[in-house]
Amino acid sequence: MHFNDLPLEIIQHVFSLCCRRVWFRIPQERDRSRSGTIQVTLLLVCSRWREIALNTSALWGDIMVIYEAGRERARGLTASFQFVQNWLNRAGMTPISLLIYVHEALESQIAAIPQTLLSSFHVTNLDLASFHSFPLVPMNTLSRLERLRLSLHEPARRIGVFPRLPEVPSLKDLHLCLHPDDFVDITNIYLIPWHQLHVCTLSENHWSSQMLFNILQRCKSLVKCTLLMKLDDGQHENDIVLSNLESLVLDMKFRGSADHIIRSLTLPNLKYLEITSWNRYSKLPVSPEAIVMMAQRSGFNQRLTYFSLCRTEQPVDVRSLLVSMPALKNVQLLGPLMFQLGTFDDLSSGAVGPQLKEIFLGVMSDEEITLFLETVGQRHEKAKTVSDITPFALVTGQCTSESDFESLTRRAKQCSEAFNAHVEIMAGEVSLDPLMTGMILDSGESDSDFGMGSASDEESYLDEESYIDEDSEEPHSFENPSSESHWESDPDVGLDSHSGEESDPGDDVGSDT
């Protein structure tokens, strides 16, 4: 069967699979060659493909706009964004994912963008990033917006008032990458509809603990949360009950004890908990006993399946912690670690951590590593006869700098081969291990450095030279990376290429494909 003889719905689906996010740079650079996209290429194949592409709304709803406002002073926003508007119009009622990056924009330029690009489209996923600019936020009601990300990096000056968000009745996911100290008046932060959020993420900047507690009091629907918290003066305990919360990443920046922060939280349905420090090499002043008490008081100790704890000032009693959290399937403890007599025997028999499948333990002595490796085989054999015990699938430990690393690595490899598990011994300071990192990402709960780094590192890649597409995770230089195909602006997509200057914005368009 010829491709054109396929049903319309199938052809449209194939076209949709071929097309990914398109990005526009405004203003274009005059000396740059025109670059093409899959969408426009489809228009040029034949009249039938052109008709199908123009009427397939899913092709036109994933866009990134890079607006370098410092080079746009002499021209109006209407002309510059007309091509983008026309492109988005093709999306119709299809859900639109839109990322807008602005650089060195004046307040007047910022104010015009929401009116131009956000007023009449079905935007469900919106990412607004401002560099050296007044903050870009939506201004009109966005009734269909489900996910919003606001970023503000290095504003030219301190800003008077945190902008008030419009009505966003469908908003469920909010990501903030900004610092409250960049604003004189932050009252409007408390007017964000925190009560309706299911997901809340902070990145790059730590917020005052008391401010976050005031916000958390409003977050009755949260299911997943990433907080970057710094300690205020004084140690005031709060009573924060988050009944629906299932996943918490808590990145803390403290000098004094953080126990009162832990004691302030009641999380009865928590399944995923990561406690980490802003500095992966520092030791967090938090007591492991306070964490165990929080788990028992909340009742999530019987539900928690993932737990990661960064370096702490106090040693972690591995056996006591694992006994208190019997449902764990994945645990990562960076230490310092303390092993009671019989800890490894209990791990082997499944008396502690019976459901554990993946385990990472920080620095251990050679003797402890030897017992740890023996545990893998003994537990493997035990699991053959006891159905309630899960054999280890991924085991990682860290030796001291004085250890015989080659010998330990050789034994770990033998253990892997004998018991069909991934067993690894790491030397020296812990570095990011792709497998361990993938393990966390696969859990669907966090993308931080498996408890060794800071959640604030997540956005550190972001600067004025590149931006990363969250879908492709490929860096996009603000120099057009796409191949050259020398197409003219299509009158049915953007502005007519024969209309002179008005067609220029359409020249600078690229695609992720």
pLDDT value at residue 189 = 94
Does residue 489 carry a pLDDT above 60? no
Count structural domains, the chain.
3
pLDDT value at residue 70 = 73
Q: Specify the range with the lowest mean pLDDT, choosing from 45-49, 116-120, 487-491.
A: 487-491
Kindly state whether residues 34 and 167 are assigned to the same domain.
yes
> Of residues 508 and 500, which shows the higher confidence score?
508
Distance (Å, rounded) from C-alpha 423 to C-alpha 393? 8
**Tokens standing for residue 436:** 């361990």
Does residue 44 carry a pLDDT above 90? no
Q: Specify the range with the lowest mean pLDDT, choosing from 115-124, 267-276, 291-300, 469-478.
A: 469-478
Kindly state whether residues 308 and 363 are assigned to the same domain.
no
Kindly state whether residues 386 and 500 are assigned to the same domain.
no
For residue 454, being part of any structural domain is answered with no
Contacts of 179 (CB under 8 A, 6+ apart): 152, 205
Last residue within a domain, chosen from 297, 330, 363:
330
Kindly state whether residues 152 and 22 are assigned to the same domain.
yes
Distance (Å, rounded) from C-alpha 458 to C-alpha 455? 6
For residue 434, being part of any structural domain is answered with no
pLDDT confidence band for 36 (50 / 70 / 90): low
pLDDT value at residue 5 = 65
Contacts of 432 (CB under 8 A, 6+ apart): 449, 450, 452, 453
Kindly state whether residues 61 and 114 are assigned to the same domain.
yes
Which of 240, 270, 265, 225 lies closest to 448 in space, CA to CA? Answer: 225
pLDDT confidence band for 344 (50 / 70 / 90): very high
For residue 49, being part of any structural domain is answered with yes
Q: Calculate what percentage of the chain has a pLDDT beyond 70.
A: 77
How much is the average pLDDT of 13-17? 75
Last residue within a domain, chosen from 330, 359, 394:
330
Summarised one tens digit per residue, pLDDT across range 277-334 is 888 778 888 899 999 999 988 989 899 999 999 999 999 999 999 999 999 999 999 9
Which of 401, 326, 319, 419 lies closest to 363 in space, CA to CA? Answer: 401
For residue 501, being part of any structural domain is answered with yes
Kindly state whether residues 342 and 233 are assigned to the same domain.
no
Kindly state whether residues 227 and 322 are assigned to the same domain.
yes
Distance (Å, rounded) from C-alpha 293 to C-alpha 262? 9
Distance (Å, rounded) from C-alpha 477 to C-alpha 128? 18
Q: Which amino acid is at 160?
A: G
For residue 200, being part of any structural domain is answered with no
pLDDT value at residue 69 = 78
Kindly state whether residues 359 and 293 are assigned to the same domain.
no
Kindly state whether residues 345 and 323 are assigned to the same domain.
no
Summarised one tens digit per residue, pLDDT across range 375-388 is 999 999 999 999 89
Kindly state whether residues 340 and 324 are assigned to the same domain.
no
Question: What range defines the domain where residue 58 resides?
Answer: 1-172+181-194+461-513
Kindly state whether residues 189 and 226 are assigned to the same domain.
no
Phi-psi region of 98 (alpha: psi -120 to 50; beta: other; left: phi over 0): beta
> Of residues 10 and 142, which shows the higher confidence score?
142
How much is the average pLDDT of 475-482? 36
Does residue 423 carry a pLDDT above 60? yes
pLDDT value at residue 73 = 55
Dihedral (CA of 31, 37, 39, 41) sign: positive
Does residue 196 carry a pLDDT above 60? yes
For residue 36, being part of any structural domain is answered with yes
For residue 440, being part of any structural domain is answered with no
For residue 449, being part of any structural domain is answered with no
pLDDT value at residue 473 = 39
Summarised one tens digit per residue, pLDDT across range 74-123 is 455 566 677 788 888 888 888 889 999 999 888 877 877 887 787 767 89
Its pTM stands at 0.79
Last residue within a domain, chosen from 330, 349, 370:
330
> Of residues 266 and 473, which shows the higher confidence score?
266
Distance (Å, rounded) from C-alpha 190 to C-alpha 192? 5
Q: Calculate what percentage of the chain has a pLDDT beyond 90.
A: 43
Kindly state whether residues 389 and 264 are assigned to the same domain.
no
pLDDT value at residue 13 = 76
pLDDT confidence band for 19 (50 / 70 / 90): confident
- What is the length of the chain? 513
How much is the average pLDDT of 200-215? 93
* Number of neighbours of residue 9 by Cβ within 10 angstroms: 9
How much is the average pLDDT of 51-72? 80
pLDDT confidence band for 428 (50 / 70 / 90): low
